[in-house]
Structure 1
Amino acid sequence: MLNEVQELESQKSVPHRDFYNVRKVDTHVHIACGMSQKHLLRFIKRKLKTEKDVQVYYDKAKKKALTLSEVFESLNLTPYDLNVDTLDVHADSKTFHRFDQFNIKFNPVGESKLREIFIKTNNFIEGRYFAEIIKEVASDLEESKYQNAEYRISIYGRRRDEWDRLAKWGLRNKVYSDNVRWLVQVPRIYQLHHANKFISNFGEMLENLFLPLFEVTMDPKSHPELHQFLKYVSGFDSVDDESKPEGQAFTKNTPEPTEWTGSENPPYSYYLFYMYANIVILNNLRRKRGMHTFLFRPHSGEAGAVHHLVTAFLLAENISHGILTEEAQIGIAISPLANNCLFLSYPRNPFPDFFARGLQLSLSTDGPLQFHFTKEPLMEEYSIAAQVWKLTRCDMCELARNSVIMSGYEEEVKEHWLGLNWRKDGPAGNDILRTNVPDIRMAFRYETLCQELQIITNATKISDALKT
């Protein structure tokens, strides 16, 4: 607070650069809800106007393919009936602490068949509509130039060919943008795969997830499309409702993955440990072969037991949500608007306290389809946070810088956006001409952290001395 005037003067002295044209990355956003509700509505109406006679869905009950107009006739809907209210994809009071109600919001008009047609990669039209929407969203990012996103897309571990199918979808539809990287999210739903007899044990799920990646790392020609697709994959996420009760803890007596044959879902820490173990080995192999490596950035700390955060703190590069975290320098992507609709009201969000303490935070959107109203959801997230918590221009630029550091963008890209020395601590790692963050702020953060570490070190020395 004492340095605010000096920080502002320092920012004013920088030519061209301001908050709007510093790079910022939406480090936590699910591509299934990466578009706004208005965008999705316009896309559906446009397809009803231009492709109403295209077969888009196979009806198993009728044993025939249906055109888009026939699908809407079966739902007793016309294009004129459609609006954002009938679409009903926006989170509301019914979703608060009700993850089941939130999941229903992924279905436009409450119909799973519309979700399959418009926001799935694996469907009757081979994910063409979904790819078109994504490319439109990416085009909006490109138009803004300084906004980027890491979109989360799912791999379930049900089948061995999931990776190849996803890669073929991406390459066939040319779903590519310099402003976009992909983060693969793995839903923690072993119990559903087991109940549907896709897999017989947890080890099979891990094999389906990681064996194709080891194969393509050893021999890129074995999965040529996957080899190309992985160039734009920055890491892995682990997702599901953290508030679900867990039947057992992960201990030394817990069965090995191949021996986990029951119908019960493994605990959170079990999922994260075995994903982490496979990612570490895979990264070592890829590093030796001159390939880029993957980050591990799971959902953690929005709800659920404290051991979720402990596990993520030990195993992950950074985490999404993390609103139960108290003290750490692990990167935390916080989504206040999403938290407000699901688990924690906006005024109670610990973001301002975390930021004041110097935790490494970024602002993210989570799911514009459910939580935002504008064409630029990331800017909407920043603007609301700035108004509610009275963030300064320096604060917002610091958050933007954090988002780039936390992201999985390549080293050379980060050097271009932040400066060649961005890995160095304090002012030495800052280039105000690129980040618009004053050296005064960087010095304050670094000096405060050093002081806190010194306090911990001194306390440890005193404790050791008392013991002896």
Structure 2
Amino acid sequence: MSKDHPIHPPRKEVSPWKIDVPENCGYEFRMMDGVFQVYPNEEAVRRNESLSYPYPNLARYIQDLNLLCALIANGPVKSFCYRRLQYLSSKFQLHVLLNEMRELAAQKAVPHRDFYNIRKVDTHIHAASCMNQKHLLRFIKKCVKTHPDEIVCVVKGEEMTLAQVFASLNLTAYDLSVDMLDVHADRNTFHRFDKFNAKYNPVGESRLREVFLKTGNHLNGKYFGHIIKEVMADLEESKYQNAELRLSIYGKSRDEWRMLARWAVEHNVHSEKVRWLIQVPRLFDIYKSNNIMDNFETFIDNLFGPLFEVSVDPSVDPDLHAFLQYVIGFDSVDDESKPETSVMDKDMPTPQLWSDTENPPYAYYLYYM
């Protein structure tokens, strides 16, 4: 291997957040029927002459969606797919019987390569659950012992230290155990989204989740940042393991992006072994029923408006511009065991007109995301 291209490139000493900030490109953007339109300048906005970026309109999307749904429900197609999968499975089993030992010998003949020293990426892991139970237990115990007098939250206008939080729960660091934390998702959580969600609360207490596993808390996510950095250190030590960790953006406020980026930069939560994927829970129905927002367009604007702003002019939020260099995608999530009863048709209202308390169907989220 050439010295110019080492197997393990040296770690960068320069801060990952110190990057060039491009100048304002002068573009303008407006939301039209839930879709952001980009214009070269203000004059083009007045003339309604947006840049020609092709995208499927809602009518075409609904047409394609209905075609897919019809294919899924088609009996002959189901039979064909089943037989095809059976054929491929049998063919693979035949290949294994004929060539298993030959492939094993070929694997052993490759120098310096086995399962443990090839690059692997762990996906679909929320950052709040990327550490194992024992790691979280050790971290909480360490914080209680070393920072008992640190103010970690405000309850009913009264500040509480970490020691007071544990006293209010009738707990001590000595009492904590893996079984008491109960953060392991086992087979009992299958198709039980309520139980699965509860596993994110150490000792079943949402207050501990807020203190240790949230970015937007009284400490600006200090403890959460530290434990994520410990996980990152383990990944860097293992050399061949990478992770795609998920962070949540709820669409409740436009400030969520700014706060998330500030958390990452302030606590230097970064590793070349980790990339971020943004998880968007489908919570519009809850926001609407609690009068937090009037329509679905507000939800979309909270999710993507800040991204368009910082793309047009990165200087409005340099932290967010730097953070986005390590964001690789989005995922819309919810309780997947819930039946999908709502359908989309050509009479579906556009986002600014969707103000019903009923949650938009999953396909509606997918189109506008």
| Pick aligned residue for 1:173 from 253, 260, 267 | 267
Partners of 2:308 and 2:273 in 1: how far apart?
27
Task: Name the CA distance, whole Å, in 1 between partners of 2:352 and 2:304.
Answer: 14
Distance 1:93 1:3, change over 3 A: closer
Unaligned 5+ segments in structure 1 are 276-468
CA contact (8 A) 1:181 1:234 kept: yes
The 5 Å alignment of 1:279-318 reads: none
Which of 195, 199, 205 pairs up with 2:289? 195
Counterpart among 49, 61, 82 of residue 176 in structure 2: 82
* Corresponding position: 1:111 with 2:190: no
Show structure 2 runs of 5+ residues with no match: 1-95
Which of 70, 79, 89 does residue 164 from structure 2 map onto? 70
Q: CA deviation at 1:96?
A: 2.9
**Mapped contact 1:171–1:229 kept (Cα < 8 A):** yes
The structural deviation recorded for 1:135 is: 0.3
Structure 1 residues 218 and 186: CA distance shift in structure 2, 3 A:
same
CA shift, 1:247, in A, is 4.8
1:249 aligns to what?
343
What is the aligned-residue RMSD (CA, Å)?
1.2
**Cross-structure match for 1:445:** none
Amino acid at match of 1:203: E
1:37-65 deviations in Å (ceiling 9; x for gaps): 111111000001000011101112xx211
Aligned residue number for residue 234 of structure 2: 140
**Aligned match of 2:150:** 54
- Number of matched residues? 273
Match of 1:8 among 104, 126, 135: 104
Report the structure, 1 or 2, having the larger helix content. 1
SS of equivalent residue, structure 2 residue 160 = strand
Would the aligned equivalents of 1:159 and 1:198 in 2 still touch at CA under 8 Å?
Answer: no
Deviation at 1:98, TM superposition (A): 1.4
1:162 equivalent among 235, 242, 256: 256
Q: Which residue of 2 aligns with 1:41?
A: 137
SS at match of 1:273: helix
Q: 1:29 aligns with which of 98, 102, 125?
A: 125
Q: Partner of 2:263: helix, strand, or coil?
A: helix
Equivalent residue letter for 2:351: P
Give the Cα–Cα distance (whole angstroms) in 2 for the partners of residues 232 and 197 of structure 1: 34
TM superposition shift of 1:218? 1.1
Paired AA for residue 115 in structure 2:
F
The equivalent of 2:247 in structure 1 is: 153
Q: How many Å separate the matches in 2 of 1:80 and 1:172?
A: 32
CA contact (8 A) 1:26 1:149 kept: yes
Q: Per-residue displacement from partner, 1:320-347 (whole Å, max 9, x unpaired)?
A: xxxxxxxxxxxxxxxxxxxxxxxxxxxx
Contact 1:167–1:229, Cα closer than 8 Å, also in 2:
yes
SS, match of residue 248 in structure 1:
coil
User: In the aligned structure 1, how far is the partner of 2:252 from the partner of 2:109?
Assistant: 56
Cα distance in 1 for residues equivalent to 2:350 and 2:196? 33
Deviations 1:91-129 (A, max 9, x none): 245423211121111111111000000000000111000
CA distance in structure 2 between the aligned counterparts of 1:247 and 1:64, rounded to whole angstroms:
45
Structure index of larger Rg: 2
Partners of 1:164 and 1:10 in 2: how far apart? 51
User: Which residue of structure 2 lines up, in the alignment, with residue 323 of structure 1?
Assistant: none
Q: Name the counterpart of 2:193.
A: 99
- With the length of structure 1 as denominator, give the TM-score of the two structures: 0.57
How far, CA to CA, are the matches of 1:64 and 1:259 in structure 2?
A: 41
* AA aligned opposite 1:37: Q
